Amino acid sequence: DVIIVTNKTTDTKEDYHNYLSSNGFNISLENIISSTEVIREYIIENFPSNKFFAIGEDKFIKSLDNHIVSYSDKPDEIDIVIVTLDRTLNFQKIEIAAKALERGAKFFAANIDDTCPVDNGEITDAGTVIPALEKRTGRKLEQHFGKPSQFMIDKILSRMKFPRNNYLLVGDRMQTDITMGKIMGVKTCLVKSGVKNKFTEYEFKPDFEVDSVYDLLSKTL
Amino acid sequence: DVIIVTNKTTDTKEDYHNYLSSNGFNISLENIISSTEVIREYIIENFPSNKFFAIGEDKFIKSLDNHIVSYSDKPDEIDIVIVTLDRTLNFQKIEIAAKALERGAKFFAANIDDTCPVDNGEITDAGTVIPALEKRTGRKLEQHFGKPSQFMIDKILSRMKFPRNNYLLVGDRMQTDITMGKIMGVKTCLVKSGVKNKFTEYEFKPDFEVDSVYDLLSKTL
């Protein structure tokens, strides 16, 4: 039983499903969990008829914008500010978010990763923008919905068919993946081919470490 | 004897001089000190033939770019990253700065103000971008050159004709203006019509407080 959990909000679940399928991984759409859907469900359930602004990309905004909650870029009418990965970030977006936060809008993040791994390194992610907005406004982030949040953990638990000691959490980021495994009480495996982790920041260690996903598969099979 | 000291880098000294003159303030160009000129002199003296990248506006970059040090936006050749106010900030600029810092470029700021006061509130300034880059890269800001840095203080001292107990430092920001006055050992006056100060962050108090510069002038004259 494999559950895929992602903090990446720049593609839809369907995109990730297609990508996995085309690489030979037959995982049901239901067993792919993204922070987009976790925050989407939370906001629709808890803040109906609210308006949100997002430092986030079009696909993320479109996933949330519907007849229950809707997108706005007018600080005077924004109830919720959401921060996530946004390669179209600019000064104007920071100012809209800051002015809404100064007026008292809720301060949420879809995920808290500092960076997002890409082919030639890492790029700026939500975790970089959050302290900027905190410094700019004097506000503090109130909630986030990706790994390792309780919202995400509850979603994962709802998908697990077996007791949790049957699962191994595999991830490349100490701050989100391995931390979540520790909170959930499942065994964890750190893959070292992804993001650069500053290990000294964490007092705990993953149960296993491998150099790459390939190594993990060759050891398991 | 009046010395004007500014952390604002979006206009040149000549612009400030013209602005003051047109409002009836006859202050010599030499007695106007900006963080642009302080960092400019430092870099030209200490890092000749280095290449800098700036999260900063065109006038700031043009002030620094000359035959001794020159501007580059190629992370592989950037020796110094400088952060200051930039209303044209975008994702690409953050990435260029981050990649240069990851390669070991020096990490400087012209100023460290969180926000810059404008007609209808405050806008994002260098102090907001610095923690973002720190989180993004794991690097720490190494030096800044505006108020209340020693570089700026030395520059001001070089302009003071009288003993420092003859001077009153007037400013609207606790973090930069009033802090610098305390460091310099001059009397300080906080003007409360500018930026919003979070007073609780500071254990010391300005010697005087006025609601506006107008109040200060009417009390003095």
Q: Domain A36-144, what architecture? A: 3-Layer(aba) Sandwich (3.40)
Q: Helices H, strands E: what count in chain B?
A: 8, 12
- Chain B residues close to A121, C-beta within 8 Å: 99, 102
Q: What is the mean pLDDT of residues B198-209?
A: 79
Q: How many CB pairs under 8 A join A and B?
A: 65
B90, B99, B195: best to mutate for the A interface, most A CBs within 10 A:
B90
A83, A128, A197: best to mutate for the B interface, most B CBs within 10 A:
A128
Using CB atoms, which residue from A88, A138, A198 is nearest to B91? A88
Measured from the Cβ of residue B108, the count of other Cβ atoms closer than 10 Å reads 21
**Do the Cβ atoms of B89 and A94 come within 8 Å?**
yes
Residues above pLDDT 70, as percent of chain B: 97
Q: Which positions ≥6 away from A118 have C-beta within 8 Å?
A: none
- Residue B200 pLDDT greater than 70, yes or no: no
* pLDDT per position as a tens digit, A71-105: 999 999 999 999 999 999 999 999 999 999 999 99
Using the Cβ of A10 and the Cβ atoms of chain B, whether some distance falls under 8 Å is answered with: no
Which segment of A76-80, A154-158, A214-218, B111-115 scores lowest on mean pLDDT? A214-218
Using the Cβ of A158 and the Cβ atoms of chain B, whether some distance falls under 8 Å is answered with: no
Using the Cβ of B199 and the Cβ atoms of chain A, whether some distance falls under 8 Å is answered with: no
Cα separation of A13 and A34, whole Å?
7
**Do the Cβ atoms of B135 and A127 come within 8 Å?**
yes
CA of B124 vs chain A CAs: smallest distance (Å): 6
Please say whether the beta carbons of A110 and A141 come within 8 A.
no
Burial per residue of A164-191, b for 16 or more beta-carbon CB atoms within 10 angstroms, e otherwise: eeebebbbbbbbbbbbbbbebebbbbbb
Q: What is the pLDDT of residue B217?
A: 76
Using the Cβ of B103 and the Cβ atoms of chain A, whether some distance falls under 8 Å is answered with: no
pLDDT band at B215 (very low <50, low <70, confident <90, very high): confident
The order of strands in the sheet holding A208-210 is: A168-171, A187-191, A208-210
pLDDT band at A189 (very low <50, low <70, confident <90, very high): very high
Using the Cβ of A129 and the Cβ atoms of chain B, whether some distance falls under 8 Å is answered with: yes
Q: What is the pLDDT of residue B49?
A: 95
Q: What is the mean pLDDT of residues A41-51?
A: 96
ipTM of model: 0.90
Please say whether the beta carbons of B140 and B134 come within 8 A.
yes
Q: What is the pLDDT of residue A221?
A: 54
Beta strand residue intervals within chain B, DSSP E: 4-6, 32-34, 51-55, 70-71, 80-83, 106-109, 115-118, 121-124, 143-144, 168-171, 187-191, 208-210
Which segment of A26-30, B59-63, B95-99, B147-151 scores lowest on mean pLDDT? A26-30
Using CB atoms, which residue from B91, B102, B135 is nearest to A131? B135
Span(s) in chain A for CATH 3.40.50.1000: 36-144, 164-221
B7, burial (CB in 10 Å: exposed 0-12, middle 13-18, buried 19+):
buried
pLDDT band at B120 (very low <50, low <70, confident <90, very high): confident
Q: What is the mean pLDDT of residues B202-211?
A: 88
Using the Cβ of A140 and the Cβ atoms of chain B, whether some distance falls under 8 Å is answered with: no
E strand or H helix at A55, and its extent? strand A51-55
Q: What is the pLDDT of residue B167?
A: 94
First-to-last C-alpha distance (Å) of chain A? 15
Burial per residue of B199-216, b for 16 or more beta-carbon CB atoms within 10 angstroms, e otherwise: eeeeeeebeeebeeeeeb
Q: Which CATH class is domain B165-221?
A: alpha beta
Cα separation of B35 and B5, whole Å?
8
Q: What is the mean pLDDT of residues A39-57?
A: 97
Q: What is the pLDDT of residue A218?
A: 77
**Do the Cβ atoms of A86 and B91 come within 8 Å?**
yes
Which segment of A116-120, A143-147, B47-51, B99-103 scores lowest on mean pLDDT? A116-120
- Residue A194 pLDDT greater than 90, yes or no: no
**Do the Cβ atoms of B114 and A135 come within 8 Å?**
yes
Q: What is the mean pLDDT of residues A175-180?
A: 94
Using the Cβ of B129 and the Cβ atoms of chain A, whether some distance falls under 8 Å is answered with: yes
Measured from the Cβ of residue B44, the count of other Cβ atoms closer than 10 Å reads 15
CA of A91 vs chain B CAs: smallest distance (Å): 5
Please say whether the beta carbons of A76 and A103 come within 8 A.
yes
**Do the Cβ atoms of B136 and A121 come within 8 Å?**
no
What's the token pair of residue B50?
């280095």
- Residue B211 pLDDT greater than 70, yes or no: yes
Q: What is the pLDDT of residue A56?
A: 98
* pLDDT per position as a tens digit, B18-75: 999 999 888 999 999 999 999 999 999 999 999 999 999 999 999 999 999 999 999 9
pLDDT band at A199 (very low <50, low <70, confident <90, very high): low
Cα separation of A148 and A175, whole Å?
8
- Residue B3 pLDDT greater than 70, yes or no: yes
Q: Which positions ≥6 away from B76 have C-beta within 8 Å?
A: B103
Say if strands A187-191 and A168-171 run parallel, antiparallel, or are unpaired. Answer: parallel
**Do the Cβ atoms of B91 and A94 come within 8 Å?**
no
Span(s) in chain B for CATH 3.40.50.1000: 1-161, 165-221
- Answer CATH for A164-221 from 3.90.950.10, 3.40.50.1000, 3.30.365.10, 3.40.80.10: 3.40.50.1000
**Do the Cβ atoms of A135 and B123 come within 8 Å?**
no
Which segment of A119-123, A193-197, B100-104 scores lowest on mean pLDDT? A193-197
Q: What is the mean pLDDT of residues A160-174?
A: 93
Quote the Cα angle for B127-B132-B134, to 5°: 95
* pLDDT per position as a tens digit, A125-138: 999 999 999 999 99
**Do the Cβ atoms of A91 and B95 come within 8 Å?**
no
Provide φ and ψ at B191, rounded to 5°.
Answer: -100, 125
Q: Which positions ≥6 away from A199 have C-beta within 8 Å?
A: A174
A76, A94, A118, A199: best to mutate for the B interface, most B CBs within 10 A:
A94
Q: What is the mean pLDDT of residues B77-97?
A: 98
Using the Cβ of A102 and the Cβ atoms of chain B, whether some distance falls under 8 Å is answered with: yes
Q: What is the pLDDT of residue B198?
A: 63
Q: What is the pLDDT of residue A198?
A: 63
- Answer CATH for B1-161 from 3.90.1150.150, 3.30.450.70, 3.40.50.1820, 3.40.50.1000: 3.40.50.1000
Which segment of A138-142, A168-172, B118-122 scores lowest on mean pLDDT? B118-122
